[in-house]
Amino acid sequence: MNLTDLLEEQERYEESIEYYFKALKIEESDVTKSEHYYWIAEDYRKLGRIDDALKYAKKSLALSPEDKDSLEQVSELQSQKLEM
């Protein structure tokens, strides 16, 4: 378990997002960047910030277009946005 997991467990999503952004600054792997963007999107979704969540879900999908989780995330967020 890492720091972002602990923060998310405590529903401290904004702090978790900050740490993901810090990690993105030093990360070189597109796969890992995609994972970070995925979790940033999830945290924004939990905060009710669907537009921000969708933005980062799309970044995740752009880096890993074959990732089923990222594709599903974008689809679900687009549906949530339409329901607003």
Mean pLDDT by runs of 10 across the 84 residues of the chain is 92 97 96 97 97 98 96 96 86
What pLDDT is attached to residue 1?
80
Q: How many CB atoms lie within 10 A of CB 67?
A: 16
pTM: 0.94
* Contact present, 60 and 34 (Cβ < 8 Å): yes
What pLDDT is attached to residue 84?
82
Domain range list for the chain: 3-83
Residue type (1 letter), 76: E
- Measured CA to CA, the distance from residue 28 to residue 45 in angstroms comes to 25
- Measured CA to CA, the distance from residue 44 to residue 57 in angstroms comes to 10
Q: Which CATH architecture has domain 3-83?
A: Alpha Horseshoe (1.25)
Q: What is residue 11's three-state secondary structure?
A: coil
